Amino acid sequence: MHKNQEYMLNTIRQEAKFTASYTGREAFDERVMQAMQRVNRKAFVSADNKDLAFENSPLPIGHGQTISQPYMVALMTDLVDVKPESVVMEIGTGSGYQAAVLSQLVRQVYTVEKIPELAESARQRLKILGYENIEVRCGSGYHGWKEKAPFDAIIVTAAATHIPQSLVDQLKPGARMVIPIGLPQMYQELMLVAKGKGGTTHTDAVMSVSFVPLVMGDNEEKQ
């Protein structure tokens, strides 16, 4: 079977049904699926992986990093429940794929990448592809982007050892963050963090996952 964008969308729908007992979502919002359809994943994978672009699996993008599997991108996007007027932050730009999907759904995306080479290549790629409502910054994911806060949603695409308070602080009241928590090569859980109107947070475990680690900077302390 020739694998294309429609094949990818069908595999996402099938996996959503399979994982519904964990996620509580048998199907994702149609706006999310339309965004997944509009963003060509092939433009965000490396040259030697173009033939695998529409597989429902993560792929290496260099520097020990990966582009997330399409199902996970759709799930995390669905979980944060963004609106057309939303301003969101992504931690872990990678190739820029998740940011591109978010850009179809919200007013502005701010995305942070710690590895300079990936940040610059993603910035250039997104510019060439015409994504005008995405701004890329090279910096620490644990610090977020305070100057642009608060955000209507935050998506973290690398696993942290704990939920960073600095990121919680950058959420608007009523906003959501989705973040993998756990150690590299060990058990990780995708967590949904909801910030209440009064600033208190409620955290739910969604499902077990496997992500590359969110790297701490030299001046960041483990909690």
Q: Which two tokens stand for residue 162?
A: 């704990």
- From residue 124, alpha-carbon distances to 44, 96, 129, 171, 217 in Å are 11, 10, 9, 28, 25
Residue (of 144, 160, 46) closest to 96 by Cα position: 46
- From residue 94, alpha-carbon distances to 3, 26, 76, 131, 186 in Å are 23, 28, 15, 15, 22
- The residues that are catalytic are 68
DSSP three-state, residue 13:
helix
